[in-house]
Amino acid sequence: MTVERKDIPRQFAESFGRSPDVTTFAPGRVNLLGEHIDLHGGHVLPMALPFGICLAAASIRGGEDRIKSAQFEDIARHSCGAPKASHWSDYVAGALEAARAQGWLKGAAAIYCDSAIPVGAGLSSSAATIIATLKAFAPKGLPVTELAKLAQTVENQYIGVPCGIMDQMAIAAPAPGEILLLNCRSLDFTPLPLPQGWEVAVVHSGQHRELADGRYHQRVEETEAARQALKIQYLTDLAGRDPLPKLDSATLTRRVRHIASEQSRVLLAVDAIETASTESFGALMQQGHMSMARDFEASTPEIDQLVADAVTVGAYGARITGAGFGGCIVALLAKGKKHEWWQQLGKHHPSASLLY
């Protein structure tokens, strides 16, 4: 699925009878390694995707926002100052509320957006929507860290998802074609060029999930309970500790093991990128998937099989990406082999689709 950016002003005009004041774009993102550790001050390795959210916006009179998406027939109406409505437009509405609170937007807004990011795929459609909306009203020169933190606040406080900062930073500070090494504690980041000969593939499993459902919240609560029990500020500080501190709960022990080991994998993966070692990076992806499946219990049998088959037919490594519980896998391939690889993988997984 693609979105033609040049069509957005015309589609806005057809919806609202006037031209937009501004158009924006925010990419989706795929996370290569570093899952569920941004909340715990970890290092992560996301990569911006070439497709995302295109948005057009204009300030309008009155006390009611009007929000139109190419993916839905209706024009949503949001009263300024109103809480979320458990509606598809909540992410735009929450960003507009934040823009008003910052003094960037006086009154209401009309928004038209079109997305090439599948919802529930683990590619950050929610964060991209929020950032695309905020960018329409943010002052020029706003630091990307401030944009990302405000977008995180929208998701935490307005939407009610206790997410970390990785998605927002990867989208606010995209480095096209490069991997972003992000320190989620300091928000320092370094773009790392994708080594020559490497190619990344993103495959949707066909299983959708909602971040606002109970499983994601449960994992956040479990890791926070473990952090408090261990009296430590960041669980990622346990990376490299062997043995790990003991906890009374076997479940919490597994959650901590994932956080600590995932941080170690990211740091090793940086070396693999710098030395262009596909074998090392692929092995770390495999280990990361096993940890997500066994210790964090955030995979599914169908995705486990998709990951296994992805490697069988030629990937150096593959893993579930995003929060889990459905969505996409990411795989590392030799450059130029994606078409042949997907032909083989797609035969065995008719419900899956190659997104990138």
Contacts 24+ apart (CB under 8 A), 189-193: 192/45, 192/270, 192/273, 192/274
Three-state DSSP state, 312:
helix
The one catalytic residue among 65, 167, 295, 309: 167
> Do 185 and 37 touch, CB atoms closer than 8 A?
no
Three-state DSSP state, 100:
helix
> Do 40 and 227 touch, CB atoms closer than 8 A?
yes
* Nearest alpha-carbon partner for 82 in 150, 163, 158, 152: 158
CA dihedral 9, 15, 21, 25 (to 10 degrees): -50
Q: How far apart are the C-alpha atoms of 66 and 143, rounded to whole Å?
A: 28
Q: For residue 139, say if its preceding peptide bond is cis, omega within 30 degrees of 0.
A: no
> What CA–CA distances, in Å, run from 193 to 146, 175, 181, 274, 289?
25, 9, 10, 9, 23
CA 197 vs. chain centroid, Å, equals 25
* Nearest alpha-carbon partner for 232 in 44, 43, 40, 42: 40
Three-state DSSP state, 347:
helix
Known catalytic residue: 167? yes
DSSP state of 316: S
Q: What's the burial of 141, exposed, middle or buried (CB within 10 Å: 0-12/13-18/19+)? A: exposed
Contacts of 156 (CB under 8 A, 6+ apart): 162, 163
Q: How far apart are the C-alpha atoms of 110 and 289, rounded to whole Å?
A: 42
Catalytic positions:
167
